[in-house]
Structure 1
C-alpha cells in the first residue's frame, strides 16, 4: 500500500511539473520551481530505496538453519559453552534472514527428527546451514555427533548411540538445494574414548562431499578443540565476530576465523574446512541485486568442486550417492515363543515397521545381543520373515542371506527383493536354546536402506526376560 501511495503521488508531481515551469516563466523568482524539483528528487530517491529494499526481500534466496547445542551429557558431564554457542549463533542467523530451528540438549531421537525436518525444508531450495556444538567422536574413520543421553562404553556403541555425520551429508546431498554450510564445533576433549581400545582424538579427516557443500571443523583432523573460558568457545566466538561483516564471502570469513582462533589459542587450535561451493556467498548482503544468489555455474570456479557424474559416465572416480531413510523405521516388538530358561529351539520375534514416508526400501537388518549373562546362539537356517506383527504370520518374505558375527554377537539378514515402505514385517530367529541363566537380555536392531552405499539407522533396544519355569 505504501509503495502504491508513493507511486501515485510521484505521478501527480510529474504531471504538475510543466505547470510550474509555465508559472516560473512569468515570475522573476524561481523559488517555487527549485523547491518543487527538490521535492521531486527527494520523493524519487525515497521510492527507489523502498522498491530496492522490497525487491531485495523478494529476491533473496530462502535461508534455513538447524542449530543444535548439547551440554548436559549424562555420562560425560556438562560442557560449559554449547548452549550459549547455539543460542548466539541462532540469534545472529535470525538477524541475517535465516529461518532457524534451535535444539538444546537433544536426544538421538530429537536430533534425528530435527534433521529430517531440516531436510524437508532444504528441498524447497535456497541456502542451508547446520551448526552443532557439543561432543563429537570418530570411530573407524566415521564422524559422529553425540546426543546427551549416549552411553559409549565401547567403540562399537557409537553407531547405535550417536548420529553419523555421513548420514547428514547424504540427506543434504539428496535435497539438491544450491548451497549448504555445515559447522561442527564438536572436537572437544572427549571422555567417552578413554575406555576404548583405539582412542582416536577429535574428528576424522573430512570426507569428500557433494557439490555445493562447505564443511567447517573447529580444529584440524585428529586434534582437540578448546571449550573456552568465556561465554563462547574460541571457534564460535570468532564466527560470531565475522559472520555479520558486510559482503564478506563465506570462504574468506572462515579464513579470518582461522586466524582469530590461532591467535586466541596461541597456535594450539587450527580450524579446518573443506568446500565444494560454486561461486560466492555472503551472510550479510548489502547489495542483494548483485550478490544474493549463489552461483550454480561459473566458468572458472575458485574452489574445488566435487561433481556427480551422469549414469552414462565412464569415469572411474564416480561419486556414489548415499542412501538413507527419509523417515526412520521403528522397532515395535520383541517376544519369544518361550521365556523359560534352557528351552531348546525357541523362536525370537523382532517386528519392524517401515513407514510410507521412508521413501527408500529396507535391504538389511542387523540384530545384536547387547547385554546378558550368556551369549545366545542361533540356528540361522531356521530364520524366517513374514508380513505382520509378532507370532501372527502373514505373507512370507524372501531372505537372501543370513550371517552371524560371533565377535560382535550380531546377526545380519539381507532381503531380496528389498522391503518396500508402508509395511510391517517380523523376523523369527531360531535360538539353539534359551540361556541357562535367569535375567534380562537386550537386543539392538539396525536398519539399512537399499543402495550400494547406505547409512544405517539405529532402531533402538528391546529386552527379553528369561526365568525358571514353574
Structure 2
C-alpha cells in the first residue's frame, strides 16, 4: 500500500510540476487560456485512471511496464504543452499622411487587428502613423523577436505602391515627387521577406491591406496600380493581399476596410486552417464589394496553422506532425499539407524577366557615421573627403557598392578617381586596405560609384576617401548623399543619409 501511494505521488508530481511552470511564465509566453476546463478535466481523468489501476508490484526492484508507459505518456504530454508556440506580430497602420490624402480606416484596422491578435496569443507591437525611421526600427525589433522561433505575423494598413515590380509600404512622411524617390522614402516589402527568411520559422504570415489608390502616382511618368505579385518566395510563408495584383482595394465606409472586417470575423473561428480561413475572407469581400475586390494569397506553407486553435490543437505543425495536447473531443481534421506552391486566385499576371532572381536586401542597414575633409578652405587643391560607414554584424548581406552623390552646393566638385582609397576603421585609426574596382563618375547626376572586390563582410567599420581636384571656389555647406548596395545580382539600395562638409574662405 505504501509503495502504491508513493507511485501515485510520483505520477502526480510529474504531471503538475510542468503545469505549474507554465502558469508561472504564462504572462511572458503570452499563452491565453492554456489550462482550459476541457484539458484539465481530461488530465484529471487520466490521473484517476492511473491511481485506480496501479498494479501491485511483485517485488520492489521492477515497476510494472504498464505504469511506466502511462507515466511516460503524461510526462511527454506536459513537456509538449510547455513548448507551446511563441507568437509574435508587428502591426502598422498609417492614416495621417503629411503630403497625401488622409485615409479613414488604417488606424482602426491596425488597432482592431492588434487587439484580436493579442486575444489569440500573439505578442503584438502596434505602430500608428509611423515615419520611415520608426518603421525600419520596428522591422529590426521584429527580426529579433522572430529569432525566438514559433509564428511571425506582419500586418500593414495604409498606402503602398509598386515600382519596377517591387512593392513598397509608404510611411506618413514620404516625399515622393518622382518615382525614383520611392526606394529612398519607403519600406520595401522584400526587406521584410528577408527578415522572415533569416529567422527560418515554420510559419510566417504577411497581410497587406495596402492596395489603396496611390495619390503620389499622379506626379509620376508611369503609374502602376496596386501592388505587384512577389517574385521572391520564402519557405513557410503566406502572403495575403487585400486585392489581386495591379488592382486597388476599398478603404470602406464603416470602421474597418472590407478586407479587415472579414479578417476580424474569421480569425477567431476555432481550429480553422489559415489557408481555408483566407478563402472564407475572399468570399466575404467579394460579396461585400459586389465582386469589385478579390483578395489574393501566395503560400509556401508546408504545415498547418490556425489562429484560434482550441482543444489542444494550438501548436503550429510541420507537415506530417500532429498536435500534441490531449483532448476528449473528436480531433479536427485539416487538409493534408501540399508541396510548396504559389496559390494565385485570379488569372496569373505576367511576371518580369527577372522573376527568378532574388533581390538582396540588408536585414540591418549600414549607417553613415561621419563625413570629414583634410582641408576645408575654398579652392584648396588635393583635399581628401572621408566618409565612414558602419556595416553591422546582422546586416544579412555583404556590402558590394557605395555611391556618393553631391546633392547640394554652389559648385560641382570633381574627384581624381584613380586616387580613391578605402580601408577598415576610421580616418584617425586606419586599418587594413580594401580593394576597389569599377570606380566611376557620372557628371550628369554628380555621382561617384565605388565597388569593393571582394565585397565587405558584415561587422566592419570602413572609410572611403575621395581626393578632390580642388575644393569649391564658393564657400558654404555641401551635402553628399551616401547609398549602400548589398551583394547580389539584383540588389536593393539603402540610403544612409547625407555627409555634410562646410567650406570657408581664408581670413
CA 213–405 in structure 1, closer or farther in 2 if over 3 Å, else same: farther
- Aligned residue for 2:317? 294
Query: Does residue 94 of the first structure (1) align with residue 142 of the second (2)?
Result: no
In structure 2, relative to structure 1, the CA distance for the partners of 1:430 and 1:12 (3 Å cut) is closer
Displacement after TM superposition at 1:92 (Å): 0.7
1:414 matches 2:451: yes
Q: Residue in 2 aligned with 1:362?
A: 399
Alignment partner, residue 255 of structure 1 = 279
Change in Cα spacing, 1:265 to 1:406, as seen in structure 2 (3 Å) is: farther
Structure 1 residue 443 displacement after superposition: 2.3
The normalised TM-score by structure 1 is 0.79
| Alpha carbons 2:406, 2:480 under 8 Å: kept | yes
Structure 1 residue 393 displacement after superposition: 4.6
Asked whether the equivalents of residues 225 and 248 of structure 2 are also in contact (C-alpha less than 8 Å), the reply is yes
User: Residue 455 of structure 1: CA displacement?
Assistant: 3.8
**Counterpart in the other structure of 2:201:** 177
Shift of residue 360, structure 1, vs aligned partner:
4.2
Q: Which residue of 2 aligns with 1:458?
A: 495
Give SS of 1:402's match.
Answer: strand
Question: Could you tell me how far 1:438 is from its partner in structure 2?
Answer: 5.2
Query: In the TM superposition, what is the alpha-carbon distance from 1:114 to its structure 2 partner?
Result: 1.7
1:305 to 336, 341, 346: 341
Report deviation, 1:155: 1.5
Alpha-carbon deviation of 1:284? 1.1
Report the equivalent of 2:20: none
Distance verdict in 2 for CA 1:142–1:357, change over 3 Å: closer
Determine if contact 1:441/1:465 at 8 Å carries over to the other structure. yes
Is residue 69 from structure 1 mapped to residue 93 from structure 2 by the alignment? Answer: yes
Q: 1:4 to 1:340 in 2, by over 3 A?
A: closer
1:144 maps to 2:168: yes
2:243 maps to 219
Assess if the C-alpha contact under 8 Å between 2:304 and 2:337 holds in 1.
no
TM-score (norm 2): 0.74
Give yes or no for contact 1:71–1:80 (8 Å, CA) kept in 2.
yes
Describe the superposition over 1:6-32 as per-residue Cα deviations: whole angstroms up to 9, x where unpaired.
6899489849xxxxxxxxxxxxxxxxx
Per the TM alignment, residue 450 of structure 1 is displaced from its structure 2 partner at its CA by: 3.4
Q: Return the offset for 1:163.
A: 1.3
The equivalent of 1:40 in structure 2 is: none
Q: Name which of 387, 393, 409 aligns with 1:350.
A: 387
Structure 1: where are the runs of 5+ without partners? Answer: 16-49, 307-316
Taking only aligned residues, the RMSD between alpha carbons, in angstroms, comes to 3.5
Residues paired across the two proteins, number: 426
Any idea what SS the aligned residue of 1:358 has?
Answer: coil
Which residue pairs with 1:402 in the alignment?
Answer: 439
Q: In the superposition, relative to structure 1, how do residues 179 and 378 fare at CA in structure 2: closer, same or farther (>3 Å)?
A: same
Name which of 64, 74, 79 aligns with 2:103. 79
Structure 2 matches for 1:16-27, cutoff 5 A?
none
For 2:461 and 2:98, locate their aligned partners in 1 and report how far apart those are by CA, in whole Å: 34
TM-superposed CA distance for 1:154, in Å, is 1.6
Aligned residues of 1:178 and 1:212 also touching (Cα < 8 A): yes
Structure 2: gaps (5+ residues): 1-11, 18-43, 54-73, 322-334, 343-353
| Matches of 1:338 and 1:264, distance apart in 2 | 67
Q: What is the rounded CA distance, in whole Å, between the counterparts of 1:251 and 1:437 in structure 2?
A: 63
Change beyond 3 A, Cα 1:405–1:227: farther
On the 8 A contact 1:204/1:222 being kept in 2, the answer is yes
Residues 357/171 of structure 1: CA separation in 2 closer, same or farther (3 Å cut): closer
Give the corresponding residue for 1:233: 257
Aligned to 1:272: 296
CA distance in 2, matches of 1:463, 1:285: 55
| Residues 89-145 of structure 1, C-alpha deviations (whole Å, 9 max, x = no match) | 111111111121222222322222222222222223221111111121211211111
Instruction: Choose the corresponding residue for 2:233, options 209, 212, 215.
Output: 209
Does the residue aligned with 2:136 lie in a helix, a strand or coil? helix
Contact 1:211–1:305 under 8 Å retained in 2:
no
Name the counterpart of 1:46. none
**One of 416, 424, 427 as aligned partner of 2:461:** 424
Q: Displacement, 1:330? A: 1.4
